[in-house]
Amino acid sequence: MAKEIQEKKNTSIIGSETEFTGELSFKDNLVISGNFNGTISASGSIEISKEAVCIVDSINANSVKIFGKVKGNIIAKKFVEMYSGCKIQGNVNTSKIYIEDGVNFQGKISMIENAQNYNLFEVTSQEYKDSLTLYRDVDNH
């Protein structure tokens, strides 16, 4: 039986009295407790604390948990979680979403469908074509 190897990720923190403006890219995890203005591109996870204010062109990350305020678009490969008391103004694109009661959200949610692996020699051509559709516009169905 093979053991699962869990990769330990570092967590960086933008403190509550910190203001950051610009582009931020990282691979590990980030907690924002202060003010952030700009663009975030990450392969890790982001948590936006209750006291945080983020005004972004976009947040693109593996997962995003929001307790504070975000103005701008959010793209999360795995999931977005919105907790009571948070305020979000912008569009969200993710594969899974969780929204608690008491969330102030203005925007549009688009769901990313998880791509499936297919053996080309075992599926019909239609099943393969359907697997290539990663995003479907719900308004056009």
110 in Cβ contact with 127 (< 8 Å): no
Beta strands in 8-52 (DSSP E): 11-14, 19-26, 29-32, 35-42, 45-48
Global model pTM greater than 0.85:
no
Q: How far is CA 126 from CA 1, 114, 121, 132, 134, in A?
A: 37, 17, 13, 10, 15
Can you say how many angstroms the Cα of residue 25 is from the centroid of all Cα atoms in its chain? 14
Q: What are phi and psi of 80, to 5 degrees?
A: -125, 135
- Kindly indicate the confidence band of residue 128, based on its pLDDT and cuts at 50, 70 and 90: low
Q: Which neighbouring-strand residues pair with 53? A: 35, 69
Can you say how many angstroms the Cα of residue 84 is from the centroid of all Cα atoms in its chain? 17
pLDDT digits (tens, 9 = 90+) for 21-52: 999 998 999 999 999 999 999 999 999 999 99
